[in-house]
Amino acid sequence: MKKRKSFSTLFGKKILVGVSGSIAAYKIPELVRSFIKKGAEVRVVLTRDAAQFVTPLTLSTVSKHDITIDFIDSEKSKWNNHVELGLWADLFLIAPATANTLSKMATGSCDNILLATFLSSTCPIFCAPAMDRDMYLNSATKKNIETLRKRGITILDVDNGELASGLHGLGRMCDIHNILIKLENFFSKLMPFFGKKIFITAGPTYEKIDPVRFIGNFSSGKMGCELARQAAYYGATVDLILGPSSETVNHPNITVCNIETADELFDLSEKKFKNCDVAIFSAAVSDFKPIKIEKEKIKQKTITIKTIANRDIVAMLGQSKKNQFLVGFALETENEERNAIEKMKRKNMDLIVLNSLRNKKTCFGYNTNQIKLIDQDLSIQEFPLMEKSKVAKIILDEILFKNKYYNSINKILK
């Protein structure tokens, strides 16, 4: 079992940091390092004055990217593309934001690359002002901050305390630990499954016949792994129970447990099901297993294997269901919809994903799938052949919709 690292909603996010010329700039390398440690990708744009307070070398080392300071990079004879930087970012943090930078942001002035990037950015923008007390309290600065707030820019409150001038009062840049928390909270609001536990079964099961042979099936585990990735991307904590598969999933919010047999899958599912919010059963579980596993390798060429039924995991857990939302899969070759509906009702599922084998590029081993979604109201949604990653998104979006977790799905980042 892989150990779960603590998850941050900054994982995988692209954060652009704009640094202007205040003494608080010396704290930014530490902040950038924290972003990186949380799994974010960071790029930095500096004003010339900021480069006096904190070296580009330090920032490029901690961010693992070149730093942008000027419109023209004379060393490389190239133009730095501020538009691209703005489009790249999921969030633009301007910290520290001096009184001068805030004023230019408010008026739309654009005489350095930080400001040009600001003007062309379409992502959410956060600002952490930093300046001396009386500059902060000056009505011109207050007005500029108010103007920016009204335009939808999040202004982080300054701290009260000792200032570089020796004065005491408001004006210190928001503590970098608090900046980190504010950004994590911001992203968590865009993750509709944040705080939810999703349990997913995936892949085939192997039922041993003798030490070298088994009864299995062609399931690759791809669909279940895509579901796990999408659920984690939406902020859920995911428990993935995976049968023998060459697929790997690597995400700090996904715990993978590997199993082989239907019995192992049953035991783990029973434990995980109790505390989950959503359970998705995409595993292709063997319906039967040999009554007896031979101790030695079978030598005969013609054999009869006596089997007994495996327990039906979904059906059994479906009976004990409390508030869990239960999603199952069906693979049918005839009377597809009728059989899937019967299965959904019998196993007490809330939603069933019907796979069809009619299209050659669906199901086992392929990266594509073609599904129908059927719910308890018997509404049937049909989808064309598409990548399994897209199918996973459709299924997760349907779960969000059905559970009214559907708060801000349209705002979810690219």
Q: Could you list the active site residues?
A: 217
Residue 33 vs 311, nearer CB to ligand C5P: 311
- Smallest distance, ligand C5P to C-beta of residue 329, A: 4
Cross-strand bridge partners of residue 129: 97
For ligand C5P, the closer of residues 163 and 314 by Cβ is: 314
| Residue 338 beta carbon to ligand C5P: minimum distance, rounded to whole angstroms | 13
Query: Do strands 278-281 and 197-202 pair parallel, antiparallel, or not at all (unpaired)?
Result: parallel
Cβ-based neighbour number of residue 324 at 10 Å = 19
For 205, the token pair is 């099961």
Minimum CB distance to ligand C5P smaller for 193 or for 281: 281
Q: Does 267 bind ligand C5P (CB under 6 A)?
A: no
Exactly one of 89, 313, 363, 392 binds ligand C5P (CB under 6 A); that residue is 313
Judged by beta carbon, residue 54 or residue 284, the one nearer ligand C5P is 284
First-last CA distance in the chain: 31
The footprint of ligand C5P on residues 171-230 (CB under 6 A) is 201
Find, among 66, 86, 90, the residue nearest to 78 by Cα. 66
**Residue 256 near residue 270 (C-beta atoms within 8 A):** no
Q: Which of 15, 283, 344, 373 binds ligand C5P (CB under 6 A)?
A: 283
Rounded Cα distance, 276 and 281, in Å: 13
Residue 126 in contact with ligand C5P, rule: CB under 6 A: no
Nearest to ligand C5P of 191, 396 (CB atom): 396
Q: Which listed residue (70, 159, 312, 397) binds ligand C5P by CB under 6 A?
A: 312
Note whether 262 binds ligand C5P by CB under 6 A: yes
330 binds ligand C5P per the rule CB under 6 A:
yes
Contact between 135 and 145 (Cβ < 8 Å): no
| Residue 314 binds ligand C5P (CB under 6 A) | yes
Q: Which of 100, 141, 245, 310 binds ligand C5P (CB under 6 A)?
A: 310
For the bound state, the minimum distance from the C-beta of residue 238 to ligand C5P, rounded and expressed in Å, comes to: 16
Contacts of 67 (CB under 8 A, 6+ apart): 44, 45, 46, 56, 59, 60
Q: How far is the CB of 314 from ligand C5P (least distance, A)?
A: 4
Comparing CB distances to ligand C5P, the nearer of 194 and 199 is: 199
The region of 73-81, 121-129, 144-152, 307-315 touching ligand C5P under the rule CB under 6 A is 307-315
Q: How far is the CB of 115 from ligand C5P (least distance, A)?
A: 55
Near ligand C5P by CB under 6 A, which window of 161-169, 213-221, 325-333, 354-362? 325-333
Residue 132 contacts residue 171 (beta carbons within 8 Å): yes
How far is 98 from 112, CA to CA, in rounded Å?
A: 14
| Of 379, 370, 310, 287, nearest in space to 341 by CA | 379
Cross-strand pairs, 328? 281, 352
Concatenated DSSP letters for 333-348? SSSHHHHHHHHHHHTT
Do residues 60 and 39 make contact, with C-beta atoms less than 8 angstroms apart? Answer: no
Minimum distance between the CB of residue 321 and ligand C5P, rounded to whole angstroms? 13
Closest listed residue to residue 325, CA positions, set 407, 405, 224: 405
Among 378, 380, 323, residue whose Cα is nearest residue 356? 380
Is position 273 an interface residue for ligand C5P (rule: CB under 6 A)? no
Half-sphere exposure of 60 (CA within 13 A, CB side): 9
Q: Is 343 a residue that touches ligand C5P (CB under 6 A)? A: yes
> Which one of residues 259, 278, 285, 400 is an interface residue with ligand C5P (CB under 6 A)?
285
Instruction: Check binding of 281 to ligand C5P (CB under 6 A).
Output: yes
Count the neighbouring beta carbons within 10 Å of the beta carbon of residue 339. 16
Chain residues binding ligand C5P by CB under 6 A are: 201, 262, 281, 283, 285, 310, 312-314, 328-330, 343
